[in-house]
């Protein structure tokens, strides 16, 4: 049984033979007068698996609302009650929390496109954003650290003003403030830093590049380490520091060493156990709390698929609501 969006106007059905053989292809014939928020959202995604997945999700949602496909559904008529009722129905069907959450996330992003185009009021869009995700019965993997915990990690590292402390504070700041993987931190090169624009080029998985612009507090700690390190030695930014604060400029730090130093700093700071990847989850969660949309976070994380990014969202566990005006938040 379908459940139409209240007070909708149904568009004329498209040519059934258009894009035959590719049920998820975009209708390139649409004009400005028939702007479709769902199509607009899909076009913000990278080509490939992520886009195809969301196209399938949108078609499924459109059918739930009583329309043949995403091309026929009047998405601009969405409202809080319709999305909330949809969430309840999907839960009653016994769908997994991850499936329902992906659908709700997709509806939020479509609503955003409708609002950006002036087809939906800010009040309606804001209300739709307030529809909560579904909590699963299983404990999700990993956690996001709160600002008190990350602050303690930084403060403990900087406590004695040692070279190793300055280095560790910079590593923690990059992991939390830029979402860098420990392997990305370990292999970061001096040549990939633009001091004039304060932009860092990261070489991620699959040799994919992405650029990040650290916040002031992150950049300051990063620069502090660069001054201590000097320009001598290997091309890697982070190098080993031996006993007696003896910097080894030709000995690049390893990802395993980063794991061990984070474990040590956690114990010294009396912060509950976490993994290095939890700092990356912290970055994603805080970005979402600050008002960033899921696709922006996907790009910042270097993910190919928005589905992967969604797993990093720990807002329900984190307890934060974020800055509703979308201002950037301090990450440390």
Residue 221 annotated as catalytic: no
What is the number of alpha carbons within 13 Å of residue 191 lying toward its C-beta? 4
Closest CA to 214 of 204, 202, 206: 202
Residue 280 annotated as catalytic: yes
Closest CA to 298 of 216, 217, 204: 204
205, 208, 211, 324: which is the annotated catalytic residue? 205
Q: In the numeric block, which tokens belong to residue 24? A: 């998820």
- Helix residue ranges per DSSP H, the chain: 37-43, 49-64, 80-92, 97-116, 122-129, 147-158, 163-178, 182-186, 216-229, 255-269, 276-289, 294-301, 306-310, 315-318
Residue 129 annotated as catalytic: no
Contact 97, 134 (CB under 8 A): yes
Residue 181 annotated as catalytic: yes
77, 143, 182, 280: which is the annotated catalytic residue? 280
167, 229, 303, 314: which is the annotated catalytic residue? 303
67, 181, 210, 314: which is the annotated catalytic residue? 181
Residue 80 annotated as catalytic: no
30, 277, 311, 315: which is the annotated catalytic residue? 277
* Angle of helix 80-92 versus helix 122-129 axis, rounded to 10: 20
67, 312, 314, 318: which is the annotated catalytic residue? 312
Residues acting as catalytic residues: 181, 205, 277, 280, 303, 312
């Amino acid at each position: 049984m379908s459940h139409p969006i209240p007070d909708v106007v149904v568009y004329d059905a498209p040519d059934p033979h258009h894009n035959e053989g590719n049920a998820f292809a975009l209708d390139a014939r649409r004009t400005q007068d028939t702007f479709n928020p769902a199509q607009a959202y899909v076009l913000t995604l990278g080509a490939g698996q992520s886009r195809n997945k969301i196209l399938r999700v949108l078609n499924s949602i459109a059918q739930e609302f009583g329309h043949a496909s995403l091309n026929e559904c009047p998405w601009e008529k969405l409202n809080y009650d319709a999305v909330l009722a949809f969430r309840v129905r999907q839960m009653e069907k016994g769908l997994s929390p991850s499936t329902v959450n992906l659908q709700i996330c997709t509806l939020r992003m479509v609503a955003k496109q409708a609002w950006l185009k002036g087809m939906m009021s800010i009040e309606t869009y804001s209300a739709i954003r307030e529809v909560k995700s579904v909590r699963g019965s299983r404990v999700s993997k990993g956690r996001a650290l709160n600002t008190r915990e990350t602050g303690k990690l930084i403060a403990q590292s900087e406590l004695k003003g040692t070279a190793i402390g300055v280095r560790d504070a910079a590593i923690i700041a990059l992991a939390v403030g830029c979402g860098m993987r420990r392997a990305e931190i370990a292999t970061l090169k001096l040549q990939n830093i633009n001091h004039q624009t304060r932009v860092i080029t990261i070489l991620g998985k699959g040799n994919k590049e992405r650029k990040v612009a650290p916040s002031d507090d992150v950049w300051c700690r990063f620069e502090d380490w660069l001054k201590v390190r000097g320009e001598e030695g290997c091309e890697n930014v982070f190098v080993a520091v031996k006993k007696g604060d003896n910097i080894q400029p030709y000995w690049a730090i390893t990802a395993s060493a980063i794991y061990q130093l984070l474990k040590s700093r956690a114990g010294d700071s009396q912060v509950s156990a976490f993994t290095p990847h939890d700092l990356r989850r912290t970055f994603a969660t805080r970005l979402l709390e600050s008002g960033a949309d899921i696709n922006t976070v996907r790009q910042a994380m270097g993910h190919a698929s928005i589905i992967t990014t969604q797993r990093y969202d720990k807002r329900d566990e984190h307890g934060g609501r974020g800055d509703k005006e979308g201002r950037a938040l301090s990450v440390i």
